Amino acid sequence: MTVNDPLGDMLTRIRNALMRNKRSVNTPASALRGRVLEVLKSEGYIRGYAEVEHATGMKEFEIELKYYEGDSVIQEIKRISKPGRRVYSGVKDLPLVQNGLGIAILSTPKGVMSDANAREANVGGEILCHIA
């Protein structure tokens, strides 16, 4: 199955697993997905992830989701920049997600990072998604 938006596919898998209160979810591995998962892990939105290789040679990420008192830590996960409409932002125009309670994940010239890290590094880029 060909996926036109691999990152959007991963976010939808996470969203669907959270609605079903699953402990973990699998998604095909890629470099961009791995970098986004690293930001989610460092910001405390997921417990962790591991790369699993199957006998067929296909690699997948097993994402361990995080819950607090029965509720998901991730309340909203939304894709912003899509293949049909790219959304870019300069460092001065970076959005605050839920007045600073959430994060925006950006793809910058210095790598994939959260909006707070992008402000600290004084760099803008493509807004991949919002997490709250």
Q: What is the secondary structure of 18-66 as a DSSP string? A: HHTT-SEEEEE--HHHHHHHHHHHHTTSEEEEEEEE-TTS-EEEEEEE-
Q: Does residue 105 form part of some domain?
A: yes
Q: Does residue 91 form part of some domain?
A: yes
How confident is the prediction along the chain (132 residues), in pLDDT tens digits per residue? 678 999 999 999 999 999 999 999 999 999 999 999 999 999 999 999 999 999 999 999 999 999 999 999 999 999 999 999 999 999 999 989 999 899 999 999 999 999 999 999 999 999 999 999
Query: What's the CATH code of the domain at 78?
Result: 3.30.1490.10
132 closest CA partner among 77, 68, 81: 77
Q: Does residue 30 form part of some domain?
A: yes
Q: Which domain holds residue 47?
A: 6-131
Q: Does residue 54 form part of some domain?
A: yes
* Residues sharing a CB contact under 8 Å with residue 88, sequence separation 6 or more, in sequence order: 81, 124, 125, 126, 127
Whole-structure pTM value? 0.94
Taking only the tens place, the pLDDT of each residue in 86-107 is 999 999 999 899 998 999 999 9
Q: Does residue 95 form part of some domain?
A: yes
Domain tally, the chain: 1
Instruction: Name the CA radius of gyration of the chain, rounded.
Output: 15
Q: Does residue 1 form part of some domain?
A: no
